[in-house]
Amino acid sequence: MPYTIRSPTTIVIPGAIMYAASMRFLPDNPIHISVVIPTWNRAELLVDAIRSVSERSVPITLIVVDDGSQDKTESVLSNLACDHSLHYIRVAHAGFPGRCRNIGVEAATTAWVAFLDSDDRFCPDKLGRQMDELARTGLSLCHTRERWLRDGRVVSQSHMRHARRGDIFPDAVKKCIVGPSTTLMRRELFQRFGGYREDLEIAEDYEFLLRLLAFEKIAYVDDELIEKRAGLAPQLSEKYAQIEGFRIRALAGFVVDVAAARREGGQGAAGGEHIHGGGEPRDGGAPRDGGGEPGAGGLDALVRVGRPPEPRWGSVDPASVPQDKLALATRELARKCRVYARGAAKRGRDEEASWYRAAAREAEALHPHA
């Protein structure tokens, strides 16, 4: 029998109301996977996403975390018939998708968690296929191929050339090659690594994967089991002219955390060796008007832009990141900063270019043999 969400039943976190459908799964048929769906002002797309979770081989709980929507999301869900147990959590708007995913995982009680952005859709038996692959490989993390659509037309991904299974950190450090909606992992693994940063508007998925993939191998199902729909508002990827600055900021945080922890000989130093920068982001990049004290800038400006840094390493010691992984990350950070600096200078943004050139030099100084 489908479920209909009823009235509020419990408070799960401060300021958050959860609506919960009754549970149909008996003790001898425990819920195995929670699917966490962050959303904001996407009522119709959200319904599409929910209905795409049509698994029959794997018991599912859906956890929708609403980042303070002002559309009809709540009323739509209150009348939605759903094939799975469904929980709805509404929080005050913050604009950080990582926060919503973290809240969803915190509310989950299952051994496995998957993620589904509310503008994406699962393909049939996505989770069942992944569970089979995880059983075959003995790993704790799995992703799949994606199908990209824009205006209803397939966008070819044939040009994508990168590692997809095993140790993929060397490619993952260059860009985000594992979409959140493709991932299925053990909840314990997510918690051990501290979850997503809640101070990154974009590239929080890239940053979390850097921490995960510095240590973990990943399984892969080589079929398009996620449908991504580009060009649908509101989408953070459409909000900014470019997002590379966000990736640089995320990578800078990773490198600085690891380098600082290594210098201090332990986890406590992560995020703690920054000079005082400041300012606000420009397209995810350097602070406007310089910010901070005279001479302040470089990596510190990138790591601290907008808000104080928020290291999220969970119980993992950043100092234990393998030396070769730190070298790869440092080299890629310096490369990204130089490329960004050249682009800024070409467009007459000389001050911004100087921030990134300084960041490149500081990245090389953190790990001179990179």
Report the distance separating Cα 55 and Cα 58, nearest Å: 6
CB-based contact 133:209 (threshold 8 Å): no
Please report the pLDDT score of residue 274 as a whole number.
40
Which amino acid makes up residue 76? Answer: V
Report the distance separating Cα 29 and Cα 25, nearest Å: 6
User: Which pLDDT tens digit goes with each residue over 5-48?
Assistant: 333 333 233 334 444 443 333 333 344 899 999 999 999 999 99
- Of residues 198 and 151, the one with the higher pLDDT is 198
Mean pLDDT along residues 276-283: 36
Phi/psi region, residue 251 (left: phi>0; alpha: psi -120 to 50; beta: rest), is alpha
Mean pLDDT along residues 172-187: 95
Please report the pLDDT score of residue 150 as a whole number.
74
Please report the pLDDT score of residue 310 as a whole number.
61
Mean pLDDT along residues 217-237: 82
User: Which pLDDT tens digit goes with each residue over 291-328?
Assistant: 333 234 678 777 765 555 566 899 999 999 999 999 99
CB-based contact 248:281 (threshold 8 Å): no
Please report the pLDDT score of residue 152 as a whole number.
72
> Domain locations in the chain?
3-235, 244-366
- Of residues 162 and 125, the one with the higher pLDDT is 125
Please report the pLDDT score of residue 237 as a whole number.
57
Q: What's the angle, vertex CA 87, arms to CA 45 and CA 61, rounded to 5?
A: 90
Among 104-113, 143-152, 221-230, 304-313, which stretch is predicted with the lowest mean pLDDT? 304-313
Please report the pLDDT score of residue 145 as a whole number.
94
- Assign domain 3-235 to its CATH superfamily: Spore Coat Polysaccharide Biosynthesis Protein SpsA; Chain A (3.90.550.10)
Among 62-66, 69-73, 121-125, 156-160, which stretch is predicted with the lowest mean pLDDT? 156-160
Report the distance separating Cα 145 and Cα 285, nearest Å: 30
- Of residues 192 and 278, the one with the higher pLDDT is 192
Give yes or no for residue 148 having a pLDDT over 90: no
- Cβ partners under 8 Å of residue 5, min gap 6: 19, 20, 21, 77, 78, 80, 82, 86, 88
Quote the mean pLDDT of the chain.
Answer: 81
Give yes or no for residue 162 having a pLDDT over 60: yes
Please report the pLDDT score of residue 367 as a whole number.
67
Q: Binning pLDDT at 50, 70 and 90, where does residue 240 land?
A: low
User: Which pLDDT tens digit goes with each residue over 57-93?
Assistant: 888 999 999 999 999 999 999 888 787 889 999 999 9
Give yes or no for residue 151 having a pLDDT over 80: no
Give yes or no for residue 219 having a pLDDT over 90: yes
Give yes or no for residue 285 having a pLDDT over 50: no
- Of residues 33 and 152, the one with the higher pLDDT is 33
